[in-house]
Each structure stands twice: as structure tokens, then as C-alpha cells.
A and B are shown apart, each in its own frame.
Chain A
Amino acid sequence: MDSNSQFPYKLDSNIEILREIGRGGCGIVFLARNNNFGTIFAIKTFKDQFLKNLHIRKRFEKEARNWIKLEPHPYIIHPFFVEKISGRLFIGMPYIPKNSDGCNTLREYLEKQPPKLIQSLIWAIQFCVGMDYVNNQGIISHRDINPSNIFIDTKKNVRIADFGLSKSIDDSTIPSCKSIENEQGNHQFTNLTSPGDLLGTQKYMSPEQFDDPIKCDIRSDIYSFGLVLYELASFGGFPFDPIGEEGDSYCDPMVPYEWRKLHAESQVPQLDSPLNDII
């Protein structure tokens, strides 16, 4: 890749952009190397198409503010620099490399190497410790808890990422971009929302988050994590089936109403797992 054409911003002269490693709703993540120290890390910025979009720029700045204000914790991916270059914000953060099976997120583990119960419990405890910590640091709700935002580092520890939709105690009402997970588990940008509009990944959103994301609190994250726990306990299963019995498109993932109905009305199937009562 011609890094100059893809990444025309001059960061520190020692920083070399290696390649793009991910795209989210509004953001794009590059792999970078500090040639002075030989360290590899990730750099996140917003996509070029949003350079002229003030809402997205504010959204991204809010993410950076909420994130950088968090004090470091072993279960949180913490940015180690935030830089504004020519009006564009860049967040530098640790890069979590994939393991030999190509996994570095809980989603990938669930798909390729579903963890044993004991490992799931360790990760679940670590996740709770991390979330309790950020909650005590002023993050009222992450609002996008799902297996793609739970990284697993090389020491097999949980690292919670992506505070892009989080709500903190000192947040003003800044418009956000919808981030909706598609069938492949990737986030898709749909459009700008005003406060009160839909935010998050529908598959993991609590019923109240559909109604008003501004009123979400940590209990909405607990609901989302309940779904993640279900997936862990069932080795990749999901409590609701968005596809109807006849195989027709009973619940289009892009229709929030249908998703809300599933979350609000569907019964959670019993699991033959020690985690059943907790879920």
C-alpha cells in the first residue's frame, strides 16, 4: 500500500504507517510503527469522507475525551496519545495482535475457538472488573458492548475497547453516528442521529437503549453483556433467532423496531450451564 496516498498526515517523523487494519462506523484504524523504538501500535482517526462533517468530528473528539480521561487499567485499551493534525484527530493506542488462529477479539474466539467454561468465567470476571472501573471513572454507559469490542490480548486478558458511543457524566448532548452491526458482525455507518436516536449494535442493545440511548446507564451495558455471557455459556449460540421459522426475513437486522421487539419480548432459553442463573 502506498501509505502516503492513504495516510497523508504527517505525524511524528519517526512514525511509519504500515497498513489499514480496521474500519468502524465512522472510524478507521491503521497499524503504525515507531521506528525510534521499534514499537507497533494502532492509530485511529475518522474516515476521509467525514472530514467536512462537523458532527462526526465532534463525535470523534468526544470519544477521545471520554477515553483519555479514563485512568489506565489492565482490562481497558487505553490510548497513549491523542494528536490533532491539520484539524484531524488521531488516537494512538496499543495494538492487540491476533493469535496463531487469527483471533484477537471475543467475537473471533467465539467463531473460531469457543472458550471452555473456565476461560469464559475468567474473561467475564475481568470484563466486569474493567467495566466497574470505568463506571467509577465517570462513564455512565459504554453503549456498545458486544464481542467485537472485547479484545483478548497476548496474555489472554480481556481488553475493553471503543468508547466511541460511551456516555460520561460530563457529556453534553453531542449528535452521534449510528453504528449498526451487519451480518458479518461489522459495524455499518447509516446516518447521523440526534440525541434520543438509535445508537449501538442492535443485536446487543437493551430494550431501553432502543427507546432512548441518552437515558442508558450501566444496567444497559449489563444487559448487553448478558447476551455475550449467553454466547460464552452456549459456545457461540444466541438467545434470539432473527430469522423466522419459515426462513423468511422475519427480522431484518436493519429494522430497529423488529430488533427492539425481539429484545423486549423474547424469552431467553434455559441453558444447561452453571451460568444459567446469572444470565
Chain B
Amino acid sequence: MKKNPNERYQKFQDLQKDLAVVYQAIAGKTYSPLHPREFKVEALISRGASLDNLGLYEVALTCYDYAIELDPFEIKALINKAYCLNALGRYDESILYSDKALKIDLKSREATGNKGVSFFKLKRYEEAILLFDSAIELAPWDSSIWMNKGTCLLNLGRYEEAIDCFNTAIDINPNFSEAFKGNGNALSKLELYEEAIENFDKALKIDPYDKSAWNSQAIAFAHLKDFQSALVCSERALEIDNKYCDAYLTKSTTLLRMGRKEEAIEPLNQLLKIDPFYQIAWKQKGVILYELEKLTESLVCFDKATEIFPTDVISLKNKGMVLERLGFYNESIDCLNKVLEIEPTDTVSLGQKGVILGKLGFYEDSINCFSP
């Protein structure tokens, strides 16, 4: 209890030694404390699962690897490793471990579900749905499988079916915020924005820190032209994560739709500082600058957008338009030719090309552009 830390025991080990001496003097024998337990397979799996839940996937993997080393047929370790590999984006490896687990137990809903998630992440939605259906047959009471199936259907544009799945997940687990969010997203796609907002509200009541729910709600409000609410929601998402690019884009789009063009640029600048390869942001910034008659700056943006995604027809068209306005007719025609290589029947680009060729005095070529 010395006031100065330097004068105290420096380690508990030193204090323990002195206490052991006192103990021996009084008890007449030494005291042997217990030693750390050897990890058992079950404890390793449990620890790995907790690390998974905290997002510490690499450390969790070491637990599962050790558990598999101790018992290569421990199905839970194989299943959890597959889950972990999915979280790390190593989907093909994950499928491998799900398959190993399924060799041990063909009816493992976890392994089937994990494999479904891998296929989902690989955008092989139809195959994923088949796996989720199998998992549902094994465990119709597992809300997360219904949720995953719903998300697949959402990505396939089968919105009504997706809503059915999300609702089943909610029936099983009324506090499943992700399922309410899934419903909100599906309803937004069906342009039922008011109902979508209600579902986002329910999701956010359960988890007020779900940034993507705030952002999706912002988009729904913007569709209803309630721009003020949209702004509030996108800002809420940014309060939660100031590096959340999608929310910057939503904020910019909302400001743009409110006619606040100059202000709409700032969120895009912040977004591009975080992710300079966010192509849509360059495209949107280019459009705003074009509308503000800042043509040279707009061209820089479309240059970036086409550099990141060279076959993006809209960026190429826009770049062509800016180049034309700046008087760079040949460069503009180059852009339009690229568009026509990708979409040979794009009449707008053909017409634009015809106009420019006319300006350059190539009248016959120009006429050809307008010929049916």
C-alpha cells in the first residue's frame, strides 16, 4: 500500500511469494495453487464462437484450427470454421469446410445454412435458396435461415416472396431487427415507401445503431419527397459511422433533390476522401458540377468515373457531353464511339455523335448517324 508505485510490489508474483512464506510459517506446509486448465475441444469451440461474435475472426480461426487438430471429426468446429471463413470473405474455403461437416452429418442445418451463405456471397442466389430451403426443412423454427432466404430473394428481385420470408422470421423472433430492415428494403423496391419507413422504424427501435437501416430509411423518405427527414436520417447514420460512404451519397442526393447543388458536393468530397474509388460518387459529382456550369471540374470527375469503370455507359455519355460543351469534339466522339461499341443501338449517343460530326463539317457521316 505504498503511495509511490515504485516502492510497491512490482508484480503479483512477488507478492504471492511473500504470502506463500507467511502461509508456510503458519500452516507448516506449502500451498500449491491450481494451474490453468488445458483447453478442451469444447472450450476452444466456445471461445472461437465468442471471438466470432466480437468480429475477431482471425483469432477465432486459430481456436477452430486447434480444435480440428485435436479432433478432425468435431462437426461443430468444422461448421464454425466455415462460418468464420465466410465472415472473412473466404467463401470457397468456407464451402469446403461446410462440405466436410456435411460428410459427417448430412442433415446439419448449420452446415447447410453456412454453405447457403457462401453461395449467397458468391452471388449464386438460386443455389443458395435451394440450400436455405433444405435448412428450413431441417429447422423451420430457425429465424436466421428464413432471413437469409429472404435476402436472396430480395437480391433476385422477388420482393413479395422475400417479404413472406422476412415476416416468417419476425413471427419466430419478434425482435429480429434485420428482418424488419429486410422488409423495409423489399417494400422500398416495391415503391411502398410509407410501409418501408414503418419497418425501418421498427428495426431502429430494436437496434438504434444500425447505420444501414438509417440510410435506407433516408432513401425511402427522399422518395416520398420528405427531404428534411431524409437528411436527418442520413446524418444519424453518419453520426454512428463517419466513414459510412453510402450515407454520404444519400445525403448528397437528398441535397441535390432539394435543389441545394453547391451543398450537395461537400458530402461527396468527404466520401471520396474515404474511398477514392467510389465510382458513383465521381459520377454524381460530375453531374452536379456540370449543372453548375463548372465544366472543367466536371470533366475531371467523369475522367475518374470512367477510369474506375471503363464500360459505364452513363459516365461515358456524360463525359462525351462535357467534352462537346468544352469544344473538344474529336474527344467527345471517341467517348460516344466507346458507348456505341457497348450499346450499338443507343440512339441518343448516335444522335449526339451526328450533331458533333455536323459541327465538324462531316455532313455525310452525320447523316448516317441519323439514318434508321
**Is A68 an interface residue when CB atoms closer than 8 A count as contact?**
yes
Q: Which of A52, A118, A133, A227 contacts B208 (CB 8 A)?
A: A52
How far is A79 from B47 in the complex, measured between Cα atoms in Å?
8
**Is A84 an interface residue when CB atoms closer than 8 A count as contact?**
yes
**Is A188 an interface residue when CB atoms closer than 8 A count as contact?**
no
How far is A204 from B190 in the complex, measured between Cα atoms in Å?
60
How far is A52 from B236 in the complex, measured between Cα atoms in Å?
12
Q: Which of B9, B36, B173 contacts A71 (CB 8 A)?
A: B36
Which chain A positions have C-beta within 8 A of B59?
69
**Do A87 and B206 contact each other (CB < 8 Å), given the known contacts A128-B19, A132-B13?**
yes
Chain B residues 33-54 with CB under 8 Å of chain A are 33-37, 39, 43, 46-47, 49-51, 53-54
Q: Mark A64-86, 1 if CB is under 8 A from B, else 0.
A: 11001101111100011111111
Count of chain A residues with Cβ under 8 Å from any Cβ of B? Answer: 66
Q: Which of A7-15, A21-29, A98-106 lines the interface with chain B? A: A7-15
A230 x B19 contact (CB < 8 A): no
Which range holds the interface residue count of chain B? Answer: 35 or more
B210 x A274 contact (CB < 8 A): no
How far is A71 from B27 in the complex, measured between Cα atoms in Å?
31
Chain A residue nearest to B33 (CB atoms) is A129
**Do A274 and B46 contact each other (CB < 8 Å), given the known contacts A72-B39, A207-B3, A223-B5?**
no
**Is A57 an interface residue when CB atoms closer than 8 A count as contact?**
yes
Q: Mark B20-38, 1 if CB is under 8 A from A, else 0.
A: 1011011100010111110
How close is A277's CB to chain B, nearest CB, in angstroms?
Answer: 8
Which chain A positions have C-beta within 8 A of B5?
206, 208, 217, 219-220, 223
How close is B55's CB to chain A, nearest CB, in angstroms?
Answer: 9
B19 x A74 contact (CB < 8 A): no
**Do A122 and B23 contact each other (CB < 8 Å), given the known contacts A10-B173, A87-B177, A133-B36?**
yes
B209 x A87 contact (CB < 8 A): yes
How far is A74 from B23 in the complex, measured between Cα atoms in Å?
20
Chain B residue nearest to A135 (CB atoms) is B12
Which chain B positions have C-beta within 8 A of A52?
208-209
Which chain B positions have C-beta within 8 A of A264?
3
How far is A88 from B2 in the complex, measured between Cα atoms in Å?
41
A71 x B22 contact (CB < 8 A): no
Which chain B positions have C-beta within 8 A of A218?
10-12
How close is B27's CB to chain A, nearest CB, in angstroms?
Answer: 6
Which chain A positions have C-beta within 8 A of B8?
219, 222-223, 226
Q: Which of B12, B25, B175, B206 contacts A274 (CB 8 A)?
A: B25
How far is A84 from B51 in the complex, measured between Cα atoms in Å?
11
**Is A279 an interface residue when CB atoms closer than 8 A count as contact?**
yes
**Do A239 and B1 contact each other (CB < 8 Å), given the known contacts A122-B31, A124-B19, A278-B22?**
yes
**Is A61 an interface residue when CB atoms closer than 8 A count as contact?**
yes
Q: Which of B9, B10, B27, B178 contacts A118 (CB 8 A)?
A: B27
How close is B12's CB to chain A, nearest CB, in angstroms?
Answer: 4
Which chain B positions have C-beta within 8 A of A71?
36, 39
**Is A131 an interface residue when CB atoms closer than 8 A count as contact?**
yes
**Do A80 and B206 contact each other (CB < 8 Å), given the known contacts A118-B23, A125-B20, A222-B15?**
no
Which chain B positions have C-beta within 8 A of A221?
12
How far is A278 from B3 in the complex, measured between Cα atoms in Å?
14
How close is B217's CB to chain A, nearest CB, in angstroms?
Answer: 16
How close is B242's CB to chain A, nearest CB, in angstroms?
Answer: 12
Chain A residues 90-132 with CB under 8 Å of chain B are 117-118, 121-122, 124-129, 131-132
A-B contact pairs, 6 of them (CB 8 A): A52-B208, A81-B50, A117-B26, A217-B5, A222-B15, A226-B8
9 new A-B contacts, CB < 8 A, other than A65-B54, A132-B11, A208-B5, are A54-B209, A68-B54, A81-B49, A85-B175, A87-B177, A128-B15, A218-B10, A263-B3, A274-B25
